[in-house]
Chain A
């Protein structure tokens, strides 16, 4: 037991060092690395429902978008009039001082974490009674509705979009912005990982699994399934909100349906990444997100105009050849590496039977 822990320690400290050194090693790739961190957070937290609880949610994008708008609104609203900021064609220019920018960002992220969590609780209370496909379709509607509603609210820019506060001009170093957002997203990634890892060792996960495997039986066992389902979703919402807040600041421009409530891309990507890596595993979504991001960044520019066709092919390949994801496939191939004990005699007997 101790030995395994030591190996884990080496792995984790290695990864953290790599994570901290990455923006210096690959200075030109900081923005892509920030995206990667955010994608991993989204995939990992989606996995909590989709993988562990068996509730396929397309609605997590709601919390992501909410976090994005909230962070930007708070960051602006704390110091200026939000309506004047978003009014297009306004002649006034507002400039955040360095202190204002970071204060606003800090408070904004806090709000962006808390409010979506509460919203998840409220919505979850209303719709988590739905099961299977019904839940999936219902959450699909959530993201679309949110996008349309946000596109009609004048104070957050409506169809014009919302330009988030620019990084303070007093910081002259052009690398500083990239580094700031990278480390912020890396911090959230580490937090999310520690949290999910903790859940993986807890009774909470077993309850989620029980809900996935047979909700009625779980209920019969005396588990208040509704309560756990809601809490599970709230956990995801917390991190989705944070991720959204960071992305809003990084992109610098929030559009209601294309950037914030971007169910067509981010909303689908988070599901895809988790499935690609293997849902219901700790490392699956992380590996899935990483591979997906490399695939996207590496290949897409070489097949200009055809990238979505390639993505479609990728989805088909995953579903047909790796229905359990990469982790699932590895597990089937090398079960002993996953700590599964195999009776050699039994295995041979099975092979002979075949």
Chain B
């Protein structure tokens, strides 16, 4: 027993020493680098969107560093990001945020992917007064908590598909419509649902199916069977990438005829590529589209961003990547205007942000959400076998007319 105790004490003191020597090995500004921290979903259910986010961040970091970096106090600094994998788990994300701030000494954070994870990280960054610019947490409840250090470059989730309901009512001759909806059980999708509920109330529309889908989403046949039986005017589905893929797969398999199909995450799921003609006519909410006419000096236009991104990563950038890149532009702008690395000065500079990026105009409301940028809707349209996303609303950017109603499966080639 004596030896065991000795061994135990020795090992504990060894661990103690290592831990103590580990602390504070990093600093907020390390030589010529400004260190940002981010927990990203590299594994788990959000892994595909997590990678889109990370690619967006990396693309912007490279570009900004190449084009002269960030100028603060007459000196040029480069961005560097410390990533951890949050495994798509809010618990892990909160823990990693703590770790980034306390152990890695990060003083500025970039957001994770998804509203749920942002919800878990925001209390931590708020506690330590760390400014966080996030690009992938759209849930409205994030912006009603009075957070002072949270800034989102995207429009809140409830705005995603509200327009689609208005569009359906308009196509119905101004009369209320019958809505069927199915949403994943997560913070983001449930917020999209609240937006639909608001829109339904406003237009007097009736919700005839209101289903919840599980998180590891791969089957929604039960909902679709009901849709077949009740014939609603609009079917709304939201459940991140897997939701979009599952919906299209099963709608085409079950030959569900519905005049209008509104979804989220079509471009992140690469729907038009993966399901080709089966995904035609799907109406999708998006934060960004390459055809929009916004510009900045780092990425040029949306089209140029699209081209550069394709060259770098081999696929067309979904809006998740674009908004993530925009987050870095916001940080750069704020650092330069603050002309300081003082967290509160940077935070104040972020509050005053008013800029245009290739992704859209950015100006933060009192809750931290971006109030300067509208959502857009695009529709998947095919020519022969190649399908593309065409912007159909709002009319300012619409490149195509909205096709309604969706032809029946029996009439589709």
Contact = CB atoms under 8 A, between A and B. Distances in A.
Given A89-B141, A307-B85, A28 B123 contact: no
A31 B95 contact: yes
B252 interface: no
A174 interface: yes
A28 B23 CA distance: 7
A151 B84 CA distance: 27
Contact of A160 (B8, B84, B190, B215): B190
Given A7-B5, A89-B194, A166-B123, 15 more contacts: A18-B12, A25-B20, A29-B23, A88-B191, A90-B141, A151-B212, A159-B190, A161-B90, A163-B123, A177-B127, A247-B91, A251-B91, A251-B94, A252-B94, A337-B1
Interface stretch (B179-187, B335-343, B389-397): B179-187
A322 B98 CA distance: 34
Interface of B: 1-5, 8-9, 12, 15-16, 19-20, 23-24, 42-43, 83-85, 87-91, 94-95, 98-99, 102-103, 116, 119-120, 123-124, 126-129, 139-141, 144-146, 158, 183-187, 189-191, 194, 212, 214-215
Nearest to A167: B127
Interface string A1-34: 0001001001100100010000001111111100
Interface in A82-112: 88-91, 93
Contacts of A89: 140-141, 144, 158, 191, 194
Nearest to B3: A337
B6 to A, nearest CB: 11
Nearest to A252: B123
Given A31-B99, A160-B187, A90 B127 contact: no
B90 to A, nearest CB: 5
Contact of A29 (B103, B144, B186, B189): B103
A306 to B, nearest CB: 9
B-side binding surface: helix, strand, loop or mixed? Answer: helix
B303 to A, nearest CB: 32
B95 A305 contact: no
A259 interface: yes
A25 B4 CA distance: 24
Nearest to B141: A88
Given A300-B85, A304-B85, A90 B144 contact: yes
**Chain A interface mostly:** helix
B98 A31 contact: yes
B90 A26 contact: no
B139 to A, nearest CB: 7
Contact of A258 (B3, B23, B116): B116
9 contacts: A10-B5, A159-B185, A159-B190, A252-B124, A253-B90, A255-B187, A257-B215, A258-B91, A304-B84
Nearest to B214: A148
B100 to A, nearest CB: 10
Contact of B4 (A31, A174, A308, A337): A337
Looking at A93, A159, A167, the one whose CB has the most chain B CB atoms below 10 A away is: A159
Given A26-B23, A159-B189, A307-B85, A88 B127 contact: no
A30 B127 CA distance: 14
B119 A161 contact: yes
Contacts of A210: none
Contacts of A265: 89, 91
A159 B186 CA distance: 5
Nearest to B40: A304
A174 B127 contact: yes
A122 B199 CA distance: 45
Contacts of A31: 95, 98-99, 102
8 closest residue pairs by CB, A with B? A159-B185, A252-B123, A88-B141, A28-B102, A253-B120, A89-B140, A31-B98, A305-B42
Contacts of A129: none
B89 A4 contact: no
Given A7-B2, A160-B141, A337-B3, A35 B89 contact: no
A253 B186 CA distance: 13
Contacts of A252: 94, 120, 123-124
A153 to B, nearest CB: 11
B43 A305 contact: yes
A350 interface: no
Contacts of A174: 127-129
A148 B186 CA distance: 12
Contacts of B186: 159, 255
Contacts of B212: 151-152, 159
